[in-house]
Amino acid sequence: MTIETINPTTGERLKIFEQWNDRQVEDALAETAAINAAWQATSFAERARLFRNAAAELRKNSAQYAGIITLEMGKIAKEALAEVEKCACGCEFYAEHAAAFLQDESIATDASLSYVAYLPLGTVLAVMPWNFPFWQVFRFAAPSLMAGNTALLKHASNVPQCALAIEKIFRQAGFPQGVFRTLMISAAQVEKLIADPRVHAVTLTGSDMAGSRVAAAAGAHLKKSVLELGGSDAFIVLPDADIEQAATVGVASRFLNCGQSCIAAKRFILTGPIADRFIELLKHKAHGLRMGDPSQENTQIGPMARADLRDQLHQQVTDSVTAGATFALHGGPSAGPGFFYAPTIIDQVRPGTRAYVEELFGPVATVIRATDEEDAIRIANDNRYGLGASVWTGDVKKGEWLARRIQSGASFVNGLVKSDPRLPFGGIKASGYGRELSVPGIREFVNIKTIWIK
């Protein structure tokens, strides 16, 4: 069996890697298990020093790492560089704050001394996706390793060079051999790893179907899991909003990373008389995006990551239009090499259609019209996902009140939904469970242990 990487800009095969056999997996797992006790015994100061080294390595060779991201999954150069920088910031954030986040907490009881300690679990297996191939790895690795855990990475099969580069970054930063290992394995090999007693927890970012399988495997072996799954984020625009600003951010949110983001604005829920005006602005701004070679500086939207993803997206759009939706901007698959899909906007999307019910993971904006703000909240919550959402209004207090009522892990008012190391990140419903980042993120994979002394 092999793992191959395809250039989504040209459709050409870049490299082929041999999938690891059982012996290779065992060697890596044994190495990580052997270093666990020594790594847990290191001080926060030592771990922080190494993560600052990792941040420095990311910045020193940012063009090289961004180039790998662009080559393997088609992210435009500017966004790839920003992703590498975000990884460096995440490393520095936990280097700075992990000790405080995990310090013992005294609790007054009938004991002479009682407190809560936050102690590492052991080895965390991470099953990671391709759309942010560096950030989503560092998003789990920085808090997990700073907490004293070791890590095994099973990355998406279309970004093997990113996976290997990340392990190299940890080695370059001076982390002991075995603390972080990349495994060149298939999805079929994951369940066996979860079952191994030397793996203590698992985290997955990916589809809800993959999440269900990983959660079932983890549950069968009574192991902690965190899942960050799909999203179909609502982008609610009220009549008193700054329509121009909302449309500008809406285009950025929907078409960032060629629309391949869990927290992209996917469902534009427009209220009252502003709907037609907003759609015209959205259409104008989306149509003006320069599509092309992602390695070129002036490109604003690159290819989708894989041909099958493009085909799946196009079928969702085709089925939705057949069911009654209309094109406000008719983009679609582009002729020629590569996996390009021109920005598309579909209007008059109604309940029951695929664009209403499903996540559209690509450069397609769905427009759903609401009668008023109450109807907008109803529509926002009429979805199986619950990752992020945003509300656009001139009345900030009303926006806050509405944001609290949306069923999601994060709600933003008059702003682009994004992940931030300072804030917890994750979803509810079919968007998963558990949290990454901030204080909750580093406490997901620790033993919250009571110590009682008399």
Give the DSSP letter of residue 272.
G
Q: How many helices (H) and strands (E) does the chain have?
A: 15, 22
CA atoms of 380 and 388, how far apart (whole Å): 10
From 72, 167, 228, 373, active-site residue:
228
Between CA 431 and CA 255 the distance in angstroms is 20
- Written as one string, the DSSP assignment of 154-166 is E--TT-HHHHHHH
Decide if 124 contacts 203 (C-beta within 8 A). yes
Residue in 262, 358, 373, 444 annotated catalytic? 262
- Is 262 known to be catalytic? yes
Query: What is the helix (H) or strand (E) element at residue 349, kind and residue range?
Result: none
Q: Are 194 and 214 in contact (CB under 8 A)?
A: yes
Q: Which residues contact 156 (CB under 8 A, 6 or more apart)?
A: 128, 129, 130, 133
Return d(Cα 162, Cα 83) in angstroms, integer: 12
**Quick one: which of 272, 280, 268 has its CA closest to 240?**
272
Rounded Cα distance, 340 and 336, in Å: 9
Cβ atoms of 304 and 341 within 8 Å: the answer is yes
Distance CA 139, CA 144 (A): 9
Backbone phi and psi for residue 273, each to the nearest 5 degrees, phi listed first? -75, -10
Catalytic positions, written as ranges: 228, 262
